[in-house]
Every structure is written in structure tokens, then in C-alpha cells.
């Protein structure tokens, strides 16, 4: 495009083929020079290096040189071009030197080149495309992972227009047209009036891209993708990683034919993508999450309305799921009452139970205390009840509030809790003993103190009988 050449042209294929031939030929030339110092790659002179006990040949010298000769012969098949003939001549010289150096010293590398796709690497390299990919569109929108879109405008158009002989005011006018309408083609306005871009019709193929612009009509045919790959493939050690783009209206037969054509052209691999075939794609020709226009029809409208209703219902359920769920006790429930005494301060606990026997509420009533302790214990009971009903494990509450130390504190009449550091300490330790499996054995003095035998006690008891 920067040279003012269409992607689908003999001159474009000649340029791509010659440049690829020079790069790979020069790479093999350097590989032969390195081999003269460090030696060739493992397997060049010994075919058993990869664990093959009985290889077809003892070495790969003739095989490797045969590949280089094929590359050299392919130079003659590069599309003839008066403008780029000098590149073809340089490609001949590169491969002649590569073959001469390899015949003498071998090659340090069995393979030297592949062609990578454009993808995100183009951003890093600050270019519109890489490899032999055409641009997706002169204006495309990239869907960002975190939401939103990024508008990307091709920066090669001005170079191509200058090479085609357009003046700077004409270039600026065409660039403005592209920015507004996302295409270099003439468009029709909302009032039906034709809006010219200023580009001459014979120059439209120069700016054709892989996808048809949202308001445009032109795109590169899939055979042009394959033809460009076929121009470069004879000069690539490996394969070409490139997407062959087909329009949204492409049929299964078109895709089948694309694979057949690729095979006939001698391509090692091919990847095909039909525009809009996925629900979302990273690059689109218009500001949307999809690459093709979708219009609601009478048949699809009820389905789309149903989808919207379901999305609203899902949103409502998600909102409810994020809210804490309170499990209330039934109106009629079982309960346990317990009387306690801490340093002479008497009180009563009432533990309401769920149907499975687990505690769900707590009431603590002090017998003769003033409003301060009574209010404190009412508050503790309410907070504990709410926590239990919202699913807080009793183990967590006991671990947090047991052994809290403040007055009143002292001895109790409960043999499992001989001394309480506070009323709250007693309440939660008692609940732990009552409802948490293994808590009593771990914390009760009765469970941890070994009973010692008193000498003569049994004899004295027998005498009294």
C-alpha cells in the first residue's frame, strides 16, 4: 500500500517474494559463515544425532543442500516486475552465496525463517501489519479486555497517496473522509446524497483490505491471500502463520475451495476465518462487539425481548445472591434454659434451636443486676442471635468471645467451668460445651484432670456398709 500497489497484484507479489527470498537467503548465508567457525548443526554430518539407530542416510548433507538448491531455483519463479527487478537480482546473488558457503562449511541452522501473524505484535513493532498480512481495514475497532473499544486508523494511506501523485490538500481531504466514514470509498449520506472521497476509481484496489468496510463494498478476495502466501512460501524454511479472511456471506463451499486452492499452491498450512463467525472478535470494522451488522426482524424480535427479560432476571438474582441471607427460627421452636452463677451474680440463658438442634438465638437475663449489665447482656444476646441466623459459625463466636476478662468475674457452680473471667466468657464457653463437638473434652477441668486413687478409701467404704 505504501508503494501504491494493490495487495492483489503481480507487482505486490513480486515485491513480497523478492524481499522474503533476500531475507532467508541472507540468513542461510550467515548461517554458513557461522558454521565455518562453530561447525554445522547436529545431524548435518551424523543422521543418528536424534536417536535414529538406522537412518536412511548416514548424514543430511545432500538433503540440506538439496533444499537450498530448491530455494535458489524458486527465485526464478518470482513474479517479473520492472520496478523491483533489482530485488530479484539481489535474491539470486544471496542464494548463490548461501549455496556456495553451505557447500564448503555446512549450515549452523537447519531452518532460519518463519512468518509470524500480525496480531498484537504489530502494536509492539509500531506498524500496521507484519508478515504478509493485509490490513483488516483502514479503520478498525479493537475490543479491549477491560471493556470499551480502541479506534485504530491505518497510517500507510498518506504514503500510498503521495506515491500515486496526490497533492497534500487532496491527501488531507481523503484522510478526513476516512476518519469520518471509516472507508476510503464513496459513501451515501443519510439524505441519499453521494459523498465522494476524492480517490480516483482506478486507485481503489491499492487500499483494499481483508474485511469490507462497514460502509464500503470492497475487500480482498481469499485467493489473493493465498496468492501472496504462495509468493513467499518457497523462500520460508518453515510455514506461514497467516489468517485467510473470508466475508461473512462466505459459504461452506467457499471455505472448502480455499483449502483446496491452498493445497494446490503448495502452502504448508493455512488458517481460515469468516468475518463475524464468532460472537465477538478482537478487531471489527465498526464500533460494536461483533464484526457484522445485526438487525432485528419480526421473527427475532420476540427472542431478543426474551433474552433481555432473562438478562434482567439474572441481574436481579445476582443482586439477591450478593445480599446476606437470614435464616429465621420457626414461630414455635425448641429451646434450652440454663441457670448460672458467676461470683454470686445469677442469670438465666435461653437458647432457641433450629429444627436440626443447632442454636439460632440467645437471651441472657440477669436476676438482680442494674440496667447497665442487663442492657449489655440484652445487646450481646441480640448480636449473637443475628450472627447465628446469618450463618456465622458458633465456633467463630466462641473463639472470639470466650475468655473475655472484665468484672464481674470469679468462681461458678458449673463443674465444667469452675472459673469465669466474665459473664460473656461463661455464656460462650457454656454454649461451646453444649453445642460444639469435642469442646467440652478439650476445655473442661473434668476432662483434663486425672482422677487419682486414694489409698484405703475402698476399705473404709466397705467397713461403713
pLDDT score, position 223: 94
Stated pTM of the model? 0.60
Q: Who wins on pLDDT, 27 or 216? A: 27
In the predicted model, is pLDDT for residue 433 greater than 60? yes
Torsion, Cα of 420, 422, 424, 430 (10° steps): 10
Poorest-pLDDT segment among 171-175, 358-362, 441-445: 441-445
pLDDT score, position 16: 93
Residues 267-326 have pLDDT tens digits of 998 999 998 888 777 777 887 644 444 444 456 778 888 888 888 888 888 877 777 788
pLDDT score, position 449: 55
Q: Who wins on pLDDT, 321 or 217? A: 217
pLDDT score, position 75: 95
Closest CA to 12 of 97, 109, 79, 57: 79
pLDDT score, position 197: 94
Beta bridge partners of 345: 342
> What average pLDDT does range 326-353 have in this prediction?
90
Q: Where are the domains of the chain?
A: 10-105, 121-284, 335-448
CB count, 10 Å around CB of 18? 26
In the predicted model, is pLDDT for residue 110 greater than 80? yes
Residues 440-452 have pLDDT tens digits of 888 777 655 556 6
Q: How confident is the model at residue 463 (pLDDT cuts 50, 70, 90)?
A: confident
Poorest-pLDDT segment among 38-47, 380-389, 397-406, 437-446: 437-446
Residue 56 CA: distances (Å) to CA of 44, 52, 53: 13, 9, 10
Instruction: Name the strand (E) or helix (H) holding 149.
Output: strand 149-153
Instruction: Name the strand (E) or helix (H) holding 340.
Output: strand 335-342
Q: What are phi and psi of 71, to 5 degrees?
A: -60, -45
In the predicted model, is pLDDT for residue 118 greater than 90? no
Q: How far apart are CA 281 and CA 141, in angstroms?
A: 10
> What average pLDDT does range 195-209 have in this prediction?
95
Radius of gyration of the CA atoms of the chain, in A: 42
Residues 12-24 have pLDDT tens digits of 999 999 999 999 9
> What average pLDDT does range 20-39 have in this prediction?
96
Chain-wide mean pLDDT for the chain? 87
Q: How far apart are CA 188 and CA 179, in angstroms?
A: 15
Q: How far apart are CA 252 and CA 458, in angstroms?
A: 99
> What average pLDDT does range 81-110 have in this prediction?
94
Q: Are 99 and 72 in contact (CB under 8 A)?
A: yes
Closest CA to 233 of 71, 9, 119, 27: 71
Residue 424 CA: distances (Å) to CA of 148, 430, 440: 55, 10, 17
> What average pLDDT does range 226-237 have in this prediction?
94
Q: How far apart are CA 6 and CA 13, in angstroms?
A: 9
Closest CA to 389 of 328, 338, 332: 328
Q: Are 281 and 253 in contact (CB under 8 A)?
A: no
Q: What are phi and psi of 140, to 5 degrees?
A: -135, 160
Poorest-pLDDT segment among 125-129, 203-207, 401-405, 430-434: 125-129
Reading the block at residue 437, the C-alpha cell is: 463437638
Poorest-pLDDT segment among 6-10, 53-57, 180-184: 53-57
Pairing of strands 243-246, 194-195: unpaired
Q: How far apart are CA 32 and CA 129, in angstroms?
A: 31
Q: How far apart are CA 346 and CA 369, in angstroms?
A: 9
Q: How far apart are CA 79 and CA 56, in angstroms?
A: 37
Helix %, strand %, coil % of the chain (to 5): 45, 15, 45
What percentage of the chain exceeds 70 in pLDDT? 92
Q: Are 417 and 367 in contact (CB under 8 A)?
A: no
Q: How far apart are CA 252 and CA 220, in angstroms?
A: 18
Look at residue 144 and give its three-state secondary structure. Answer: coil
Q: How far apart are CA 374 and CA 140, in angstroms?
A: 72
Q: How far apart are CA 454 and CA 362, in angstroms?
A: 43
pLDDT score, position 150: 81
Amino acid at each position: 500500500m505504501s508503494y501504491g500497489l494493490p495487495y492483489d497484484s503481480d507487482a505486490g507479489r513480486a515485491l513480497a517474494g523478492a524481499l522474503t527470498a533476500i531475507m532467508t537467503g541472507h540468513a542461510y548465508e550467515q548461517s554458513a559463515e557461522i558454521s565455518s567457525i562453530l561447525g554445522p548443526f547436529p545431524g548435518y554430518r551424523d543422521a543418528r544425532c536424534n536417536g535414529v539407530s538406522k537412518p536412511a542416510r548416514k548424514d543430511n548433507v545432500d538433503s540440506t543442500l538439496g533444499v537450498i538448491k530448491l530455494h535458489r531455483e524458486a527465485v526464478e519463479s518470482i513474479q517479473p516486475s520492472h520496478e523491483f527487478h533489482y530485488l530479484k537480482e539481489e535474491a539470486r546473488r544471496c542464494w548463490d552465496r548461501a549455496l556456495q558457503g553451505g557447500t564448503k562449511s555446512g549450515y549452523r541452522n537447519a531452518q532460519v525463517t518463519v512468518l509470524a501473524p500480525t496480531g498484537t505484535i504489530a502494536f509492539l513493532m509500531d506498524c500496521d501489519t507484519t508478515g504478509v498480512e493485509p490490513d483488516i481495514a483502514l479503520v478498525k475497532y479493537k475490543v479491549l479486555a477491560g471493556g470499551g473499544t480502541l479506534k485504530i486508523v491505518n497510517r500507510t494511506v498518506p504514503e500510498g497517496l503521495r506515491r500515486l501523485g496526490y497533492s497534500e490538500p487532496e491527501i488531507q481531504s481523503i484522510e478526513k473522509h476516512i476518519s469520518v466514514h471509516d472507508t476510503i470509498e464513496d459513501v451515501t449520506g443519510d439524505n441519499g446524497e453521494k459523498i465522494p472521497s476524492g480517490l480516483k476509481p482506478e486507485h481503489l484496489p491499492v487500499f483494499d483490505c481483508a474485511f469490507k468496510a462497514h460502509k464500503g463494498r470492497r475487500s480482498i478476495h481469499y485467493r489473493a491471500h493465498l496468492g501472496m502466501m504462495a509468493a513467499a512460501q518457497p523462500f520460508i524454511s518453515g510455514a506461514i502463520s497467516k489468517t485467510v479472511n473470508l466475508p461473512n456471506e462466505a459459504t461452506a463451499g467457499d471455505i472448502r475451495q480455499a483449502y483446496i486452492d491452498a493445497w494446490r499452491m503448495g502452502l504448508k498450512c493455512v488458517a481460515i476465518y469468516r468475518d463475524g463467525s464468532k460472537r465477538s472478535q478482537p478487531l471489527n470494522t465498526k464500533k460494536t462487539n461483533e464484526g457484522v451488522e445485526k438487525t432485528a426482524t419480526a421473527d427475532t424480535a420476540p427472542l431478543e425481548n426474551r433474552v433481555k427479560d432473562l438478562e434482567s432476571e439474572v441481574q436481579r438474582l445476582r443482586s439477591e445472591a450478593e445480599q446476606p441471607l437470614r435464616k429465621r427460627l420457626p414461630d414455635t421452636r425448641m429451646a434450652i434454659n440454663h441457670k448460672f452463677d458467676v461470683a454470686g451474680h445469677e442469670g438465666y440463658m435461653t437458647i432457641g434451636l433450629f429444627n436440626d438442634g443447632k442454636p439460632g438465638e440467645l437471651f441472657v437475663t440477669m436476676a438482680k443486676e442494674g440496667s447497665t449489665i442487663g442492657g449489655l447482656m440484652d445487646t450481646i444476646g441480640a448480636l449473637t442471635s443475628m450472627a447465628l441466623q446469618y450463618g456465622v459459625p458458633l465456633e467463630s463466636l466462641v473463639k472470639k468471645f470466650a475468655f473475655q476478662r472484665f468484672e464481674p468475674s470469679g468462681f461458678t457452680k458449673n463443674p465444667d467451668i469452675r472459673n469465669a473471667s466474665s459473664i460473656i466468657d461463661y455464656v460462650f464457653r457454656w454454649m461451646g460445651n453444649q453445642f460444639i463437638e469435642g469442646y467440652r473434652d478439650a476445655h473442661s477441668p473434668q476432662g483434663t484432670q486425672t482422677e487419682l486413687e486414694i489409698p484405703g478409701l475402698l476399705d473404709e467404704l466397705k467397713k461403713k456398709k
